[in-house]
Amino acid sequence: MTNPLRVIISGGGTGGHIFPAVAIANELRRRLPDTEILFVGANGRMEMTRVPDAGYKIVGLDITGLQRRLTPQNLMFPVRVFRSVRKAGRLIEEFRPDAVVGVGGYASAPVLLAATSRAIPSLIQEQNSYAGLVNKLLGRRVGRICVAYDGMEKFFPKEKIVLTGNPVRTEIADGDRAEALRFFGLNPDKKTLLVIGGSLGARTLNLATAAALQQLRDAGVQLLWQTGKLYFPEAERLAGPYQADNLHALEFIKRMDLAYAAADVVISRAGALSVSELCLTGKASILVPSPNVAEDHQTKNALSLASKGAAVLITDEHAQARLYDEALRLLGDTERQQQLSTRVRELARPNATAMIVDELLQLIKK
């Protein structure tokens, strides 16, 4: 490749799509520093701020998902799709990419449609154990499908599938515990619980945590509680009286490497990115899958760990009653923590990003 490589990366909507996309871009730039990368996202979604924060240019499409009921937004859906595919086609004609990567989410569909109709090498990265609708629809059109779980031939042509794992920021596992405790102002003689509900927050986890603040203080446990933007004002008010006991409500945790390093036990949703990070960091965890996702794929993600003795699974409906009793039992049982940690590390795929970029470069050479 004498000329600089040009790649479009499309998709987004949640951190579970955005962070893998940025990890792929970073790996491309690490290997081929002259690579020109353009992101395409959906206007109004979090990728429109998070991608520029990571140092990349992004263009937005006016595309949304279908609602489950008849709404004015649904009536406009065909028009938005048509306009988005047309705009994506113009972007491709102007940018002239050597390849296109789709990571899932609304914006990846128009871009992949436009790219595959022009015979541009295209790759899908599917994070979940149950494939997303966009990826399922476009799987037959692309050249390669990189997946994180076995058994994905249920959704995709078997000959196109490569088991790579999910791209995860490998530095997430490099946090130093002593530095982490200083960074968050935590006591090294106390157990620390980390609660993360995904990039957008999680109502069930937030309500259960708010109700357990006194229980945690009585148990002498420290808390790092990532609430998400919407619940943060209320969480900050409720946690205020407990600040001296190191029960901290945080809107968003940028230094997740240090948050994982500080934690003895993690409570988390079971999005694909969260599950992959837990495998890489080797943390004992309690997973509470969100029921508000397509095809209940978070439960399938969580079961992939729990069935191997690599995590504890508590359903969303039982979280209010059981979550914190189980968390305190686990915090007090270092032997069980170690068992969970050992088994979850066995499921880690630290070379996922490199493997995906290998597949992408092979597609381009063909």
> What residues are designated binding site?
14-16, 128, 169, 199, 253, 272-277, 298
Q: Which amino acid is at 100?
A: V
Pairing of strands 36-42, 161-163: unpaired
| Residue numbering of the annotated binding site for UDP-N-acetyl-alpha-D-glucosamine | 14-16, 128, 169, 199, 253, 272-277, 298
Amino acid at 349: R
Q: Classify the phi-psi angles of 313: left when phi > 0, otherwise alpha if psi is within -120 to 50, otherwise beta.
A: beta
**Angstrom distances, CA of residue 84 to CA of 50, 59, 62, 110:** 21, 11, 6, 6
Q: Which two tokens stand for residue 325?
A: 């009793």
SS3 state of residue 203: helix
Angle between helices 352-365 and 15-31 (to 10 degrees): 60
Radius of gyration of the chain (CA): 21
HSE (CB half, 13 Å, CA atoms) of 168? 27
